[in-house]
Structure 1
Amino acid sequence: MFDSPLISGDVLREVIAKAPRNLDNLDAELLFIERNYIFHYLEGNRHVYKSLTPEVLRNAFANEPTDTDWLSKSVIRHGSGVSGNWIVCFFPQQRYSLQVGQEQFYLPLPSFVFMGIGSSYFLWAVKKNQFEPNLIVYHAPLPNIMADGRICWGNVYPTSVGLSNVEAVWSKFIGSVFNRDYTQGKSRKYKNNIIEQLKILNRKEKISSRCRYPVSDLVPVRNKLTVAQAVKAIIKNVDCG
C-alpha cells in the first residue's frame, strides 16, 4: 500500500506493474532475483541491465547518512543478512530472579552471550566477565534452551530483533516462567537436570551474598567452539535455511 503525496499516479502505476518495467516514469530499478542483483536503467532509448555484487551495492549507499541512535552498552555487534537484522549482546555475571514452574529463585548466573537474528534467539554462557570473541561458549545453565543455544519460547512469540528492542526481548526471556524442558546436558554434576543446580545456588545465596556460579560446572557446546565461530555458524545456517 502506498500513501505518499510526493509520488504521482503515473509513477505508482509503473511501480506496481510487473517487472522489468518500461521506465516511462521511473529513473531506474533494482531487481532481486534469486539472491542476484540486477540494475535496470535507460541509456537513451536502450534498456541496460547490469548485474551487481553485494559489495558494489554497499559502496553505492556508503555515503548515505545513517544513525543507530544511542546503543545499549550490552550490544557488542550487529549486522544484517538475508534473514534480517542480527544482534549480539553480552551480559556479565550477575544475580537474577527466576521463575521456574511454581518456584521463585534468586541466584547468581554466569556471563551470557545473547544473540537474535530475525525472530530467532540464542543464548550461551561464557566463563569471563570481560567479553572477547574468542571465548569458549558453554551451554547456558537454564531450562528451555536447545542444544544449539536456540531459545524455546513455548507459546510466547518474540518480536524480530532490533537495536531498539533487543534488551526488552532479553528482559522478557529472563523474566519468563521456565519449565522443565531442555534441562539435560547443562551441568557436569547434575547431568540430567540443571534445575537441581539452580536450587542449590538459590539456597546458598540466602546464606551468603558472595555466592558465585560455579563456572567449572559449565558444559561446553562443542570442543573449543568460540563465540565468534558460534555467531558465524548461526548467521550462515539461518540465512541458508
Structure 2
Amino acid sequence: MNVPLPPLDIGKLVQTIVPQTELGEVQAQLLFLSGQYVLIYKEQEKTHCKFVSPAAIARAFSNTVIDSGWLDYHTVRWGHGLSGEWIVQYYPPQQYQILCENNEWQIPLPAFIFVGYRTRYWIWASKTKQFDPNAALYAAPLPNVYGDGAICFGELHPPDCSPSQIGVAWKIFWQSNFSNHLIQGKSKRYPQDVLKQLMQVRNKRIYPSKDLVIFNKSLDVICQGITR
C-alpha cells in the first residue's frame, strides 16, 4: 500500500536551515528548492531569508559586465563554453607562403573558417568570398588537419583561445612545417595525397573550388557543440 507523503512545508524547512547556516565572510547564500529559490543573507548581525523568483535571479546575474576587448576584424563570433572562451574567424581566399617538408611554396588557398576553444583549434575551407554562416564547409586542403577539422600542431603549443591570442594561434599554424601527415580525404583529384594537389596549384592565381571535399557538419552545429 502506497501512503502519500505529507506536503513539504518549504517555509518551515528554511526556518530550520537558517539557524544552522554559518555565513562567516560569505555575504549571502542561495538555496535551490523545488520550484523556487531562497536567499539567505546577513544584515546587522541578524540572518534573514526570503523567497526569490527565477526572474529576479536572472536580472541579478544579467548585471554582470562581460567585455571581450577589441575583436580582430576576422572574428565573426565569440562566446563562452563550459570551460572557456571560443571564437570563430573567417579568412577570405588569398595567397599563402607555406613551408612544406622544408620547401617554401607560394600557393593560393580558399577561404577558411578558423575556430578555437581553450587550446584546441579547427579549420575548414569555404567557397564563399565573404563570410556566410549558412555556407557549406569543406575539408581544409592541407596536411596536418584531422578529418573533423582539428589541427595537429605537433610539438608546437598554441595559446588558450581568447580575443587577444587567437591571432597568435593562427600564425603558429601557418609558420609550422607542413608534413605528409593526415594528407588523405582533402582533394577530389588526389584523394590519397593533398600535397600533390598543392604542388599543382603552386604559383597559380586561385584555388580550384571544385576540388574541395564537403564536410558533413554545418558551422551552426559545430558552434552548438562547442557551447555545451
- Shorter chain as normaliser: what TM range? 0.7 to 0.9
Task: Indicate which of 206, 213, 232 corresponds to 2:224.
Answer: 232
2:40: which partner in 1?
Answer: 41
2:130: which partner in 1?
Answer: 130
**How far does the alpha carbon of each residue in 1:26-56 deviate from its partner, in whole angstroms, 9 at most, with x for none?**
212579xxxxxx9863365367898979x95
2:5: which partner in 1?
Answer: none
Structure 2: segments with no counterpart, 5+ residues: 1-19, 32-36
What is the root-mean-square deviation in Å for CA atoms of aligned residues? 2.7
**Which amino acid is 1:120 matched to?**
R
Judged with a 3 Å threshold, the aligned counterparts in structure 2 of structure 1 residues 102 and 174 are, in CA distance, closer, same or farther, namely same
Query: Is the contact between residue 28 and residue 39 of structure 1 (CA under 8 Å) also seen in structure 2?
Result: no
1:201: which partner in 2?
Answer: 201
Judged with a 3 Å threshold, the aligned counterparts in structure 2 of structure 1 residues 51 and 183 are, in CA distance, closer, same or farther, namely farther
Q: Does 1:79 align with 2:68?
A: no
Query: Is the contact between residue 38 and residue 49 of structure 2 (CA under 8 Å) also seen in structure 1?
Result: no
- CA distance in structure 2 between the partners assigned to 1:141 and 1:108 by the alignment: 11
1:149: which partner in 2?
Answer: 149
Q: Secondary structure at the match of 2:150?
A: coil
- CA distance in structure 2 between the partners assigned to 1:221 and 1:56 by the alignment: 41
- CA distance in structure 2 between the partners assigned to 1:114 and 1:21 by the alignment: 49
Query: Is the contact between residue 29 and residue 41 of structure 2 (CA under 8 Å) also seen in structure 1?
Result: no
- CA distance in structure 2 between the partners assigned to 1:100 and 1:30 by the alignment: 57
Judged with a 3 Å threshold, the aligned counterparts in structure 2 of structure 1 residues 104 and 49 are, in CA distance, closer, same or farther, namely farther
Give TM-score scaled by structure 2 length.
0.78
Q: Report the CA distance between 1:157 and its aligned residue.
A: 1.7
- CA distance in structure 2 between the partners assigned to 1:181 and 1:52 by the alignment: 52
**Which amino acid is 1:45 matched to?**
T
Query: Is the contact between residue 138 and residue 219 of structure 1 (CA under 8 Å) also seen in structure 2?
Result: yes
Q: Does 1:102 align with 2:94?
A: no
Judged with a 3 Å threshold, the aligned counterparts in structure 2 of structure 1 residues 45 and 161 are, in CA distance, closer, same or farther, namely same
What number of residue pairs does the alignment pair up?
A: 201
1:116: which partner in 2?
Answer: 116
Q: Report the CA distance between 1:136 and its aligned residue.
A: 0.3
2:28: which partner in 1?
Answer: 28
Q: Report the CA distance between 1:24 and its aligned residue.
A: 2.1
Task: Indicate which of 207, 213, 218 corresponds to 1:219.
Answer: 213
Judged with a 3 Å threshold, the aligned counterparts in structure 2 of structure 1 residues 158 and 56 are, in CA distance, closer, same or farther, namely farther
**How far does the alpha carbon of each residue in 1:105-163 deviate from its partner, in whole angstroms, 9 at most, with x for none?**
11110000000011111100010111111100000000111011011111112111001
Q: Secondary structure at the match of 1:220?
A: coil
Q: Report the CA distance between 1:66 and its aligned residue.
A: 3.7
2:12: which partner in 1?
Answer: none
Q: What's the % identity of the aligned pairs? A: 33
Q: Secondary structure at the match of 2:198?
A: helix
- CA distance in structure 2 between the partners assigned to 1:156 and 1:77 by the alignment: 25
**Which amino acid is 1:98 matched to?**
I
Q: Does 1:174 align with 2:174?
A: yes
**How far does the alpha carbon of each residue in 1:178-222 deviate from its partner, in whole angstroms, 9 at most, with x for none?**
1111100000000001011111111xx1xx5xx100010000112
